[in-house]
Amino acid sequence: MTSLDPSTSLPLPADAIQRVLFVAPKVHVYQIPPLTSTKGHTAAHWTTNTQGAREIFTARLRILETALPSPTGGEAVTTAVLLEDGGSGELFAAAPYASPAAVEQAIDSSRFFAVRVVGEGGMKATLGIGFEERSEAVDFNISLQDVRKALGMQGHGGEKKGKKAVEREREAGKKDFSLKEGETITVNIGGRGRRQKEDGASMRSDSDALFSIKPPPSGGGGGMPTLAPPPSASEVKAEKRRSREMSQQVSAQDLGFDDGEFGEFQ
């Protein structure tokens, strides 16, 4: 059986691969009023008869992934949320999931979602869907999260980053950290600056201490004894003269010698 593109209903190539990511056998499909608030859709407006809201029918919901081989290598992957007839499997509406905006959760209930579907001729409409079981709604939400990760949707808005956006991010990441002319850089390594400050402070305190020591006392007391001043030149000469006179007056006997037998030591 030939596979069909869920968005266009056209036959897919034979090498295309389709994978079902999620199935809910029964969801309620609603025609919902136009969005009047920027906060989002309110499910209470879908399930009451006010503002013309009404249930269309009960459908089977599938999330279908289609992978097509790319001419340049790799695969082109698309995903769509399908609303089908539960008995015959006939497609009622398809919502190409190109961004999270294609499926938005209601602001007043976790079981209801607004789905932007595309019909024949590219006609677009927003339908409401409601799950009977909260667990099914949670699984549906988790499956969509996995799709966003697989398709690389970024940010809250979920749009894929364009080539220019990627280039801008790369350029922003290429920051120039080189020093410009006249610029300097200061490096702090593990408190070394504090140690230098402490060493500098101790050096200053030691230097100040050297110049703050009091002079020694001039008189007696418990202080160190002072040295006598050196003799003057006249005193040195007088001392030398006295030494010569004393050496001339010393006899041989005073030095421990006798006169000798012939008086040769006189």
Q: Which residues of 204-235 are buried (b: 16+ CB within 10 A; e: fewer)?
A: eeeeeeeeeeeeeeeeeeeeeeeeeeeeeeee
Total residues belonging to the chain: 266
Quote the tokens at residue 58: 């009960």
Say what the pLDDT of residue 163 is.
45
Q: Other CB atoms closer than 10 Å to residue 99's CB: what's the count?
A: 16
pLDDT at 189 over 60: yes
Nearest Cα residue to 8 out of 136, 133, 122, 175: 122
Rounded to an integer, the average pLDDT of 208-221 is: 47
Which tens digits make up the pLDDT trace of 61-79? 999 999 888 777 778 889 9
Mean pLDDT, rounded, for 133-158:
85
- pLDDT band (50, 70, 90) for residue 203: low
Mean pLDDT on 146-168: 62
Average pLDDT over residues 88-94: 89
> In which band, very low, low, confident or very high, does the pLDDT at 175 lie, cut at 50, 70 and 90?
low
Higher pLDDT, 70 or 95: 95
The predicted model scores a pTM of 0.56
pLDDT of residue 17: 87
* Predicted pLDDT of residue 109: 92
Helix residue spans in the chain (DSSP H)? 134-151, 163-173, 192-210, 233-249
